[in-house]
Structure 1
Amino acid sequence: MRSAQKRPVAVLVDAYTSGNHLPPAFAKLDVDVVHVQSTPELMTSMRLPDLTAYRAAVPYGTPAETADRLREFDPVCVVAGQEPGVELADELSELLGLPTNGTALSRARRDKYEMIETLRRAGVRCADQLKSGSAEELVDWAERRGEYPVVVKPLSSAATDGVAVCRGPEEVRKAAEAVLGTVNIFGERNDEVLVQSFLQGEEYMVDFVSYAGQRGSCGIWQYHKRLDGTHRIYDRDSITTPGSSPEPEITAYMHEVLDALGIQYGPTHAEVIVTPQGPALVEIGARLSGGVLPDFHDLCVGVNQADLTALAYARPQEFLDRYAGRPYRKLTEASQIFAATTLDGVVDSLDQDVLAQIQALESVHLAIPKLAPGSRIRPTVDLYTATLVVWTRHDSTEVLERDYARIQELAERVYLLREDAKAAA
């Protein structure tokens, strides 16, 4: 029995990037956190967890060994902090007898091919697809299907890493060969590649938190992307209005998706395209959205996914009473902007005056440059190669549009390159 003198403990697995928002979210509810990593060494390709925020960091081991070490903390939950931790979090929560999505469908929650096939078996609307370790097989599938464009992407990735929209066989071949044999940001080798039918329609980001199959919505945001060659590059996203189409249709569809994938607990971040036939899943992660910024989302929708996740596990009845089955609120117009670049070289310095001009714009909540002096800057092809992220909010859409245009004008001037590096590039 848990001692009345000890604070409860939540276990976080691989709390990289946005997973760093979970320790303070649990701390607000007087819950300590213990960190577990799914790999022998921390993954330096992502923003590392701040281990000073944890009661303990459990050394890497087998799931059974790790579960034995965790029992001394008598945890109330195990939560995936980021994508690599999803399967281990499923296994540990199952071994410890805690609220769990279980291991039966763990692979389908990470492998994009299995994800879509699981939906197909459940009768949920989804894309056509094929996976293969042969670029020629992927080309043959696309040619037999006879309908372009198609999408080529890794089986496990994030932020459009390795994703290409292909309009013909040569583009399919080139995109597949560019992925096969490489290693993704999670340290996983791409031995197979996925080709899917292109879902035509507007794309949306959909974030939920679940507890015992009951779900609270954290917001639905419409993506605005532009196509540059074979790459669909993030431009910005904007919050949609709850109760107005397509929010109800997307929400109903997402319940089908989450049930089909066995996701009954924890946060989820999904991308959905509303096709002429209805919503269809692009992919889903059983973890926090990478774009969570708690104070910003509190101002936009009155809640944020990190705090809602902590509430669901620490005080489930309060979560169910306050948030389950209810749409999010839209408190303001808002947008997250991802600035792209055509620059190629090494960053010498950041122009602080230009950054100050961006930060001073009326709608800007926060602007974060993604590169530091000495970093390599390359033309943007995906979310990881965007150079600046800006969160904006205002009651006036006109102000948002005006500031968006100004941010686009200023963004390319934020980074000053080394002259020798520019010449070499």
Structure 2
Amino acid sequence: MSTGTATVPDRVSETTTPAPRRLRYALILGGLSAFGPLSIDMYLPAFPGMTGDLGTAESTLQLTLTAFVMGLAVGQLVIGPLSDALGRRRPLIAGIAVYAVASVLCALAPSAELLIAARVLQALGAAAGIVVARATVRDLFSGTAMTKFFSMLMLVNGLAPILAPVIGGQVLQWTSWRGVFVVLTVFGVLLLAVVAIAMPEPLPPHRRRPARIRTIAATYRGLLGDRAFVGYALTSGLTFAGVFAYISGSSFVLQEVYALSPQQYSLAFGLNGIGIVIAGQINGRIVGRFPERVLLRAGLLGSTTGAVAMVVAAATAAPLPYLMVPLFLVVSGIGLIMPNTMSLALADHPHTAGAASALLGVVQFVVAGLASPLVGLFGEGSAVPMASIMAGFGLLALLTFSTLTRAGIAAPPAVREAA
């Protein structure tokens, strides 16, 4: 096992990499990419109680989600090119350290405004884990092997939204919402130790690019000029925006409209994450027999159909099961959509994987950040606003995929890279 600052070979493959090493990468990179869902989902069961404790409105409290998402976007723009220039480990270790410190500040925040500020700092640190995890997969794999590995990560990523609200609900039985951020601090410290000890440097020096402002700007211009890359990034972002509408609105809808307890809500929320795991593992098994685009289209169609059915259930005030079944379908679609969009978006950019991963994440989280205030803006006391916004983003994602990533569209030669 390589440790410390040792580097891995230039490119490994699914067939040449031993299963234990692939599992080690999956666990470490899955933990890194879990920063987002854990930091977003774990404190959701505490939302109703936090409004009274901090003396603030629901719409203001939802800004703690928006602030985190926007911080992730800015952080990824910075960390991505830095990781292309300095290697993956140094920016990653610095980012996790910032995350741990910011989590302590969140736990100590005396007001909603200071909590929002601490969440921005926490997100800047979390961004390092998310962007480096995706870039490392591109460093190590290509083609179908890359898609399969992203699907393997869905097993780990799927557990994060399952476990996060459950853990949050259990923490609330013993302490307040501040204890949730203490748990996140411990997670950050433990992951920092694991990365420092067990994760080798995946990007050798001869494959790094200088971190000059002009070079970074040219790289981002090239990525934005790649119509297919932009299409896959927007498809991913719009899909995630629909799910983020559920993340930001479900706590109030399920607990206040459908009268679930925090523990019942956390279990219902976690149950939906099982669909991500199942769909992700199915995707990993059948990719290669079916093209990534076919699997991506299937995920988009299923997710959008589920969201439309949610609107019908909410508008007719149907019992909770009629809302939860199509919601399960919407969330499950992530297991098909995300591995394939990430693989297809990064496929032509092996030498700027950090910047491409960053821009992919920025588009995803900026678009998703629009969803949280929209849910609060269009009213409370009903599931209709949440369901309608989810359906709208799902339809936009399907339209974007169908128009910007059509078969036969190729990036201009100037912005494509040889693998």
Considering the TM-score relative to the shorter chain, is it more than 0.5? no
Q: With structure 1 as the length reference, what TM-score do the two structures score?
A: 0.28
Structure holding more strand per residue: 1
More contact order relative to length (CA 8 Å, sep ≥ 6): 2
Structure holding more helix per residue: 2
